[in-house]
Amino acid sequence: MAPRSRRKLLVAVLAAVLLLLAAGVGGLYWVDYDLRHPKPDSGRPGAWMTMDAAEVSLFTRVAIPTGADDVRWGYREGFQDDFAVLAFRLSQAGLEEFRRPLPVTEWAERTYIESVDLDGFQHIGAPDPPNASPLTCGGFLSPGQAKNVATRICVASRPDGTGQVWVSAFHTP
């Protein structure tokens, strides 16, 4: 075989190896992206599951008042712990009625909400809690069969005279 033919063969083999390597890296990125962003209802950890508002309400241990408007909810199945968010609007009078029966021991004013909760509220398209100020937040722990459920609730008055409610809950050991 002539030196020129060997050089062409070497270049062709090298190009094929580089193409296979690029395809392999692209495939790994695609697989990794799919793992990081599971499709809804895939049943894999991190997937936002399709559940109705009543099921999310049961999980969070917070009943959605009958007069609630703009009710939004989401539920994410985790590797070890599941996570649910719920948001809705109430009249100011309805807001006080909503807070009264909750087993929250102490309500406190806050200026922030945990980042995991913010991600959940953004996922369901709820109004952004940090833009509502002041926030009054509280929480409670509900015993469960295998795990307890920790529920956090924040409320804020809106400029239109209504109140906004944000609820998040997750399993905790």
Per-residue pLDDT tens over the stretch 61-105: 999 998 898 898 888 877 777 889 999 999 988 888 898 899 998
Residue 38: is its pLDDT beyond 60? Answer: no
Q: Which amino acid would we find at residue 115?
A: S
The answer on pLDDT for 158 being more than 80 is yes
74, β-bridge pairs: 85
Task: Report yes or no: 60 and 51 within 8 Å, Cβ to Cβ.
Answer: no
Domain range summary for the chain, segments of one domain joined by +: 1-37, 47-172
Query: Can you list the positions of beta strands (E) in the chain?
Result: 47-49, 69-77, 83-91, 108-110, 135-142, 148-157, 162-172
Give tens-digit pLDDT for 136-153.
Answer: 889 888 886 667 888 999
pLDDT 10s digits, 22-34: 887 777 666 656 5
Task: Find out whether 94 and 67 touch, Cβ atoms under 8 Å.
Answer: yes
